[in-house]
Structure formats: C-alpha cells, structure tokens
Structure 1
C-alpha cells in the first residue's frame, strides 16, 4: 500500500512499493552552502542498482551542486551522504570513482581529433612490455573497446575515426560504455540530451536503458520531463535548491511531472493576471488548487 506525504520543506513525496535492492548512493537531508548562499537544502535521494533516478529542474534549481556533491568535486555542508550504507565525505572525484561513481558531463572530456579507441582509454591506457620501456598495447585496446561498445549495442564501422566525427548521440554512448567498462556502479549523466535533436536523443536514451539493464544505478540529470519519463524509474524535481517532488514512476504521470517541472503552481497563481492581458486565453490553464500537493490524514490517506 502506498501513501502520499510532504516533507518538512514542503516537497511532495509519494512512497512506492519497497525495493529489495539496497541503495548504492543515498543522500539524507543533504545540502550545500557557499558562505551565506545556500545552494542546496534538505535533499533526500536514493540510487539503487538497475534503476534510473531522474533529477529534473530548471536553471539554478541546484542540479549542478547535487552532481558536484555525489561526484566528489564538492563536499556537503549539511545532512548525510552514504555509499553502500556507510557515511562518506569525498575530497576528490578520484575517491568517488574508486567507489564506482562515474560522471559523464556534457563536454564528455574527449579529444575530438583522437580516434574512438584512444578516447575510450584516455588517461587509463593499456601497456605491454617491461618497465621502463613499456609501450601502448594498441591492438588490445582496439579489441577491448570494440567488444565493450558492442556489449552495449554500439556498433561503429571504424574505431580509427576521430571521435569528433561521430554524432552527439554516438559520442554520449561511447562515454557511457567507457564508464561501464571502468567499473562504474553509479553513472551520473549531466544533461546528455540537452544539445541533441530528437533522433540523437533517442540514441542516448536507448543506452541509458542499456546501462540500467546491466545493473547500474543511473542518475539522469535533465530539464526535459518527456525524456525523463521515457526511461526513468524514479523522479525528483528540484526547485531553488530544495526537493519539490520525489515520486516513483507508478505514482506520478507525465502530466504531473511536467507541471512540477514547469512550475505549474506558480503559473496557475498568475492566471488572474494573465486574464487581464488582451488576447490571452486562460480558460485552459490549470487552476491553482489542481496542482497542490494532497494532504495526508492521520489514517495515511490523501485528501
């Protein structure tokens, strides 16, 4: 049985059926302040293996700060950050990577003029021969890169081609396969479809689902609720540094997710002002009460 409720900061939380898998990464009331500026506050998030957790929010919502905390770039200043149930406080991204947390940023950290196979092993090249005259094991790197890409369903005709000649969706897919190969258990994807067209976005979403099917816990950062709903298992919406919605897929519709993402409550509150503008039809706009979170009674039922 599920119920709806609200956290202390007003976020709408919809409890889903309990999951058997323990979370790999978990935030409990986490936050981050830069001096007197509070960028993130009271964020609770759970990332389980084999599930895609979508974090949505507009510009300035706190998505980048959340990524930086989980990836080890910044430390949280409030709340708890746990990995495999143990409290952690990473000092560097390398420490997060050692725990199996890999981040794929929008710029992908690739060298456009280098071949695909070389970018696949960039910074972690395979070598052979005795020290101190070890050399790059090019044949093994090419073979391994091809096998790993094919395991993810990515088939490239020529691994020698510069990665910059691939489409945006293909480059994202190579970055995802690279993270999986190097032992990622949690994969953070920072707006992977933001600069892509419909077709290439579909390619990336396909490989997000493939990573989930291989048992990874995926954190999909996006501002597009339609993309999130295609692959997401759990949804969290950030607004001005706090969690506004936290819901399982079975507990929220695409329309509800879009309303929260677009600030539907704020738009509904402005309906009376829009009505005064000539030429604006407000009849189809939502009423403010339609977008309010349900109130939970003492019996646990929503009203």
Structure 2
C-alpha cells in the first residue's frame, strides 16, 4: 500500500494585489524524505513556504494533511498539525543563551519560577539526541558561529516534535565545514521519519540530501525530478525556463546524473 503523504497541495494560488505570486501549485511531501524547492528569484518559493506555515494563507486550492482536508490560516494552525519553519533570518535573540533561545515563549515554570535546571537538561538531551555539539549552552547566541546558530534554530523548531520541517536557505551563509554538519543533521532528521522541505539554490547541497526536486517558475510548477536520475542540466533548464538554451542543448547520456 502506498505511503500517505504528510502534506499535499493541489491548485494552491496566492495573489498580492496585481501580482499573481502562485498559480495552481501542486506539491507532495512524505515523512522520511527531503524535497528540495528550487526556482529563480520571484519564483514563488518564499510565498509557498508562508502559505504552508500559515503566515500568508492561500487564496484558493486544496491542502491535505495525511489525506485529510485542512485549512492553515495562521502559524498556530501549522504548529498544531506538526509543521515547523526555520526562516533564513533565524529569528534568534543574540543576547540570550542557547537554552533561552530554545525555550523562548515556551519557558518551563515550577512553582511560579523559571525552571532553568530542567530547561538546560532538556536542551542538552535534545542536542545529544541529534548529535549536535555546542561547547556551552549558556553562552550568548551572538558568540556562536553561523553553523552553530543554524543548528540551534533547527533544534528550537524540534521542541514541539514536528512531523514536517520547512528550511529556508539554511546553508546560504555557511562555510564548507559548517554546511557539511548541517546537511548531516538534515539527513538525521529524514532518517528519523521527518518530512523536510528544503529551499536552496545550491545544487551540491541538494544532491547530497534531497530525494526529489520541485521547481517553481513564475509562481507555477515547472518540473518535479528524482535526484538520482535527473541531470543537473535538466534542473537548470527547468529553473530558467530556457529549454532551448546552450546549457540544455548539451548532450546528456542516459546514464549521466549530477556530477
């Protein structure tokens, strides 16, 4: 029996005044897979993430969660379903430590007082479970590296035990080593059964962790590819819409996949 996708979108559209940001978009994401969302600037990627996360509800279309029709009108709706989002700006409080950032807005109290011991224990436990190394969870987040800040933001999103994680350009400002560590974390989350929607422009990152690539162009679906069988030229051609350009015309052997 086929596995029921976690999230299914059918005919999702979104307009901002005279601008049609999304038009009849379709997408499926299952547990235990990483779907990369690609597209040029203004392709509709960020708008689609906002639709799924409840920040900017769709104007029309059908959304299903494990086969059940749903409506996501606000971020709380997404949270209740088990959808978590890590935006590119991370939304971290630099003056707070790791523990403070993880539990910001969901602090644990005991007898009317913050239970710092329990919050630190849970922080260390979660980081250990995900094989994340943070030298000191009591240092201000401002003192951490870009990669460490990124994994702290992802760890924070996992406190609610989500089923689907949306990642907006998580490696954009990271170095090679930090990127490798973050991609390892994404693979770990997939192996634990989470569905991951990864927005990225980096072909190397996508080849490393994604199972499928969904391409948007001018707010519409413009291709869905299996990472193991599609060539890089096919993906690029779908992103740019230049099916007859010099890149796409280069000969691709049947057995050729991404370098």
Normalised TM-score (structure 1): 0.78
Aligned to 1:298: none
Aligned to 1:182: 160
Tell me: CA distance 1:252–1:178, structure 2 relative to 1, closer, same or farther (3 Å): same
Counterpart Cα distance in 2 of 1:266 and 1:97: 43
Counterpart Cα distance in 2 of 1:79 and 1:251: 30
Counterpart Cα distance in 2 of 1:81 and 1:155: 37
Structure 1 counterpart SS, 2:149: helix
Counterpart Cα distance in 2 of 1:238 and 1:266: 18
**Could you list the runs of 5+ residues in structure 1 that have no partner in the other structure?**
1-18, 269-284, 292-303
Aligned to 2:249: 287
Structure 2 counterpart SS, 1:149: helix
Alignment partner for residue 70 of structure 2, among 66, 79, 88? Answer: 88
Structure 2 counterpart SS, 1:250: coil
Normalised TM-score (structure 2): 0.91
Give the C-alpha shift of residue 79 in structure 1: 2.1
**1:49 matched to 2:31:** yes
Give the C-alpha shift of residue 263 in structure 1: 4.5
Tell me: CA distance 1:211–1:175, structure 2 relative to 1, closer, same or farther (3 Å): same
Structure 1 counterpart SS, 2:158: helix
**1:201 matched to 2:179:** yes
Counterpart Cα distance in 2 of 1:251 and 1:94: 38
Counterpart Cα distance in 2 of 1:146 and 1:45: 36
Structure 2 counterpart SS, 1:169: helix
Bigger-Rg structure (1/2): 1
Q: Map 1:80-119 to 2 at 5 A.
A: 80-119=62-101
1:241-260 deviation digits (Å, cap 9, x = unpaired): 11111122333133432443
Structure 1 counterpart SS, 2:151: helix
**Could you list the runs of 5+ residues in structure 2 that have no partner in the other structure?**
253-259
Q: Map 1:60-139 to 2 at 5 A.
A: 60-129=42-111, 134-139=112-117
Counterpart Cα distance in 2 of 1:135 and 1:86: 41
Q: Check conservation: 1:190, 1:222, Cα contact below 8 A.
A: yes
Structure 2 counterpart SS, 1:21: coil
Counterpart Cα distance in 2 of 1:183 and 1:287: 46
Deviation >6 Å, runs of 4+:
none
RMSD of equivalent CA atoms:
1.9
Give the C-alpha shift of residue 29 in structure 1: 2.0
Q: Check conservation: 1:39, 1:62, Cα contact below 8 A.
A: yes
Tell me: CA distance 1:35–1:255, structure 2 relative to 1, closer, same or farther (3 Å): same
Q: Map 1:220-299 to 2 at 5 A.
A: 220-265=198-243, 267-268=245-246, 285-287=247-249
